[in-house]
Structure 1
Amino acid sequence: MKKLSTWSIIFISTGGMIGSGWLFAPYYGYQTAGVGVIFSWLITALLTFFVAVCFAEVASMLPIVSGAMRFLKITHSRSLGFLFVVLGWVSYLVYLPLEAQSVVQYLGFWFPSLVDDSNSTGVLLSYFGVSIAFFIMVGITILNTYQLKNVAKVNNVVSVWKIFLPIAIALGMLAFYGSFDNFSHNTSSTSISFETILLAITGSGLAFAFSGFQNGLVVANSAKNPRLAIPLSLFAPVVVGLTMYLSLSLLFMFCLPASADHLAVNVAPLLGLLSLFGLHFIYTVLFIDAIVAPLGTSNVYAAVTGRVLQAFGLEFFKTSILTKLNKHSVPIYCIWINFFIGLIFLLQFPTWSQLVSFLSSLVLFSCLSGPVVLIIFRDKFPQMDRKFKLPFHKLFGYLGFISCSYFVYWSGTDNLKYLSILVIVVIAFYWFVFERNNLIKIFKQVWFVCGYIITLWLISFVHELGCIAFPYDNLLVAVIGILFLRIFITHQAPIETIDSNLKLTIDEINKLESC
């Protein structure tokens, strides 16, 4: 099997992170938190770092196909592993409708019939806009049914473009058009509230903008030098993302005059801002990038998600259509199944911000596995070779788990409700298909996951009713995070079972490396 360079792995993570997030999150975050969005970005980056360092050690130990999604199957039960693999898979397939939606929304800046920005919940796609998003999804899906060659090399070039263009535009605009008068006005006209600073993190897409940090884990088994590539692929997106998103947020604070607030429209905020200064060349380049970047990201995710579903089929449905390949060695049924399920999300969440908020909660919920597995492996298997060894592993494990809990909690009551329902449905599906006669056994294996997410939903619901004031609700979430991490750890499988699962996983890695 041909190996990927360290740079390729880094660009898969960093490039996958830069899709539609940079087009909307800086402005939506600014709308929600005002100038306090700077603190929102810093908090998001810090919490993402706490999560990423947990995965850095575990993923470098076990560079397996589908990465973090499969860890809990090793340390816990098949049912819990199934749940997290499914949630991880769903979190990936949502990217295709999300990026298609963002492309249509930016096209709506020039073709207003594609969008409806009169709705109080945000910018909606019109029926015409939804149909265009549908055809974009169809086109990308068809493209992914053919053999893809040199994807990593192409992605390297596209990622460099996606990374440096927004940063260059932001810094150039700040240098030539930034004004302290604008900053002073924007600072005085918006009040800074710590609660809105936190709510902007998930609700305005900030957490989503950093969610691509784990993409390198999906192809971790393909790294030439996993000791170097995997930690860097986790940390580099955080550093690059923070630089980019801070620059873009500062762009609105220093360059948006008070008399022209309405021009930075929700449909295409950055294009609206550039239109003030008559920068037609940059305006055109940015418009092209606003289309190319999400399309490139959705194409990568469509390809990766097909392989994730294929790996899921090989593990749980060995003789199903999920394992079938076409003449181009592509899991064609997986690709189309992802398309149809993704279509449901496009219709259920009609605005970019709504879809992003749910996706963020789903991605970070599936990341709970990292801190859990980190602590279990370090405590039970201290002798295992670690290409990256994290100091103070228990401290970072707890910080990582609490960070995930905050990201999920800040997504809001509705998203917590949807996530709770999804968790229960997946567990019920596993029971019905695999172990219909073992309901009590399955309940004992997964009850704490249901208890965790339902508890977060209850805290959010009670907070909305005004029974728990801010910041006591957030302090309670931290306590819940500590408590449930202990429960996750105490419900691990017997050490003999974990050891057996580890040996099977290591054999899988060795077979892939010998190919």
Structure 2
Amino acid sequence: MSTTAAAPATSGPGLRRTVGFSALLFISLGSIIGSGWLLGALTAAKSAGGASILSWVLAGVILVLLALVHAELGSTYPVAGGTARYPRLAFGAIAGFTAGWVGWLQAVAIAPIEVEAALSYLDHIFHGLVDADGNLTGLGLVLAAALMVVFTGINLLGVALLAETNRITVLWKIAIPVLTVIVLISVAFHGSNFTAGGGFAPYGAHGVFAALPLGVVFALQGFEQAVQMGGEARDPQRDLPRALIGAVALGVVIYLALEVAFVGALDPAALAAGWENPIGKGDFGPYVTIAGALGLTWLSILLYVDAFVSPAGTGLVYVATSARLSYAMGQSGFAPKGLAKISKRGIPWVSTVVAFVVGLISFAPFPSWQSLVSIVTSATVIMYGFAPLTLAALRKVDPDRPRPYRLPAATVIGPLSFIAANEIIYWSGWTTDWKLGVMIAVGFVLFAAYRAYRASQEGLRFFAPDLQIRSLAWILPWLGGMLVISALGQYDGAEIIPEWIDLLVVAVWSLVIFYIAVAMAMPADQVAREVEAEAAEAAAEPAELHG
């Protein structure tokens, strides 16, 4: 069967193509600028000192590479919940489910995280929302649930309202960080701070790398949210690449400027003893502390307001995108079909309600912002890691499909971005990685149980060709190998693998998995059938040319 027979896959049944370029850009940028900007600079500085600026540069380079990979996939195969569907096109159901499961785990957890962050800041004005450990109190839980209700309600009312609401909040979210950078650099900037407390890199390269999963990557992640909305994009072939690349570029520039402004504005006396407590105790954000010390009351007020608006805006977006991921899994047969039900407004309403319920449940075991950041970061980069593999595989077996955006030097950028994603997983540390491994194992059990149920109810074969059981021959070694390296490594592991050698081991293992996975992609005719099946399911309503 010719691989050019079908047009690029479009949206799922009932989704409305109403989202334009600016809305896609703001959806990704609104996800990038959340609670991370208020806390990321402090956590990076405590880990790496003045060299924390290198952490942001390194994270920026890694995420730009991954965004470029997603740009080609998103424009070529524009479907809702794309990060769950792309691996399925190349490798079959098991790979698609694995990517979708880890993607959904991180996405569904971020809205509650952002709500917790917003209430933690608000507690410094209206006391009693969090306790001394930063955990939500009874009143805090009630308000958290109320915020989740608001996010869910806006999402259920339609994607156009979501896009417009997000557009307004993102404009605010950009303005306040930029204003903070300008004011702090103008009023109080000490260049000597970058070499204080033990030199430019007081904790060496280890500190620079360790900062990435402690909040740096968490702050910059989220560019893929435009991809998840690909099934509702008005002109995805043109707009998705520009939105993805533009959002990451703007995010990196803003966060790097914030780190420079933060380190430069610190009191030099506070760094004499090192970087352990550069601003002293307090969980309400480093910039408020600095603004208060400088007598900038007006800036403190704006920062308190933004400390609520930024996380709340990001939480709003992630309710939407986590719903698109579970919608994609339901549409693909990885989860109950009910998750793919579409409302009259063109919204996956069952998936949206599920995201709301799971978000409420997550407040119980993870009642503070800090308790989920590393796990969410590691889950995110596993999801990102599937993209370079998928791109290389689809270029190999589906080479003639029109590609509105074609990644330059893909044979280099693909493997390099996969290595980078695995290095971040490694830097997250053994304690984080084994917990995520358990969550992935639980996902496999749920997938097998639902597959067995479908087989019994619908007369399907459990080991039907779409399963592509052979994908486990690289998925399990990939994830299992990373767990072993993490357990033996320098980041919360047994420290058996020497420093720097550990990074080389991760890189070599990544390349082995990369080329094995690409070699095990489904045959070209089967990939063509999968893409055509996506297109055949696209009973989307005509695009609205307004809004």
TM-score, scaled relative to structure 1: 0.91
SS at match of 2:371: helix
* Residues 1:283 and 2:300 aligned together: yes
* Residues 1:90 and 2:105 aligned together: yes
The structure with the greater share of residues assigned to helix is 1
Offset, 1:19: 1.2
Q: Which amino acid is 2:532 matched to?
A: K
Offset, 1:307: 3.5
Q: Which amino acid is 2:523 matched to?
A: P
Partner in structure 1 of residue 364 of structure 2 = 347
Q: What CA distance in whole angstroms lies between the structure 2 residues aligned with 1:9 and 1:490?
A: 34
Offset, 1:472: 1.3
Offset, 1:401: 0.9
Show the 5 A alignment for 1:352-367. Answer: 352-367=369-384
Corresponding residue to 2:186 among 169, 175, 184: 175
Unaligned runs of 5+ in 1: none
Q: Which moved more, 1:254-263 or 1:454-463?
A: 254-263
Offset, 1:220: 2.0
Partner in structure 2 of residue 502 of structure 1 = 531
1:137-182 Cα offsets, whole Å, 9 max, x none, are: 3443355444564332332232122113202211221112223354
Q: Which amino acid is 1:480 matched to?
A: W
Offset, 1:308: 3.1
Partner in structure 1 of residue 498 of structure 2 = 469
SS at match of 1:348: coil
Q: Which amino acid is 1:498 matched to?
A: V
Q: Which amino acid is 1:454 matched to?
A: G
Using a 3 Å threshold, how does the CA distance of structure 1 residues 458 and 344 change in structure 2: closer, same or farther? farther
Residue identity (%): 25
Using a 3 Å threshold, how does the CA distance of structure 1 residues 126 and 199 change in structure 2: closer, same or farther? farther
Using a 3 Å threshold, how does the CA distance of structure 1 residues 74 and 180 change in structure 2: closer, same or farther? closer
Partner in structure 2 of residue 69 of structure 1 = 84
Q: What CA distance in whole angstroms lies between the structure 2 residues aligned with 1:344 and 1:318?
A: 20
Q: What CA distance in whole angstroms lies between the structure 1 residues aligned with 2:412 and 2:334?
A: 38
Offset, 1:405: 0.8
1:407-441 Cα offsets, whole Å, 9 max, x none, are: 22221112211221122221222222214785798
Q: Which amino acid is 1:461 matched to?
A: A
Q: What CA distance in whole angstroms lies between the structure 2 residues aligned with 1:445 and 1:195?
A: 34
Corresponding residue to 1:214 among 224, 228, 251: 224
Partner in structure 2 of residue 152 of structure 1 = 163
Using a 3 Å threshold, how does the CA distance of structure 1 residues 414 and 513 change in structure 2: closer, same or farther? farther
* Residues 1:245 and 2:255 aligned together: yes
* Number of aligned residue pairs: 510
Corresponding residue to 2:339 among 293, 299, 322: 322
Q: What CA distance in whole angstroms lies between the structure 2 residues aligned with 1:248 and 1:380?
A: 43
Q: Which moved more, 1:178-187 or 1:206-215?
A: 178-187
Q: What CA distance in whole angstroms lies between the structure 1 residues aligned with 2:417 and 2:98?
A: 20
SS at match of 1:467: coil
Q: What CA distance in whole angstroms lies between the structure 2 residues aligned with 1:351 and 1:112?
A: 16
Show the 5 A alignment for 1:42-441. Answer: 42-111=57-126, 113-116=128-131, 123-126=134-137, 129-147=140-158, 149-183=160-194, 185=196, 188=199, 191-202=202-213, 204-259=214-269, 261-263=278-280, 265-316=282-333, 320-324=337-341, 330-435=347-452, 438=462
Using a 3 Å threshold, how does the CA distance of structure 1 residues 189 and 6 change in structure 2: closer, same or farther? closer
Corresponding residue to 2:519 among 490, 497, 515: 490
Offset, 1:97: 0.8
Q: Which amino acid is 2:161 matched to?
A: N
Q: What CA distance in whole angstroms lies between the structure 1 residues aligned with 2:123 and 2:402?
A: 53
Q: What CA distance in whole angstroms lies between the structure 1 residues aligned with 2:159 and 2:226?
A: 18
Offset, 1:452: 1.5
Query: Would you identify which runs of 4 or more consecutive aligned residues in structure 1 move more than 6 Å?
Result: 439-442
Corresponding residue to 2:482 among 456, 477, 480: 456
Q: Which moved more, 1:291-300 or 1:500-509?
A: 500-509
Q: Which amino acid is 2:45 matched to?
A: Y
Corresponding residue to 1:444 among 470, 474, 494: 470
Unaligned runs of 5+ in 2: 1-15, 271-277, 456-460
Using a 3 Å threshold, how does the CA distance of structure 1 residues 320 and 9 change in structure 2: closer, same or farther? closer
Task: Give RMSD over aligned pairs.
Answer: 2.7
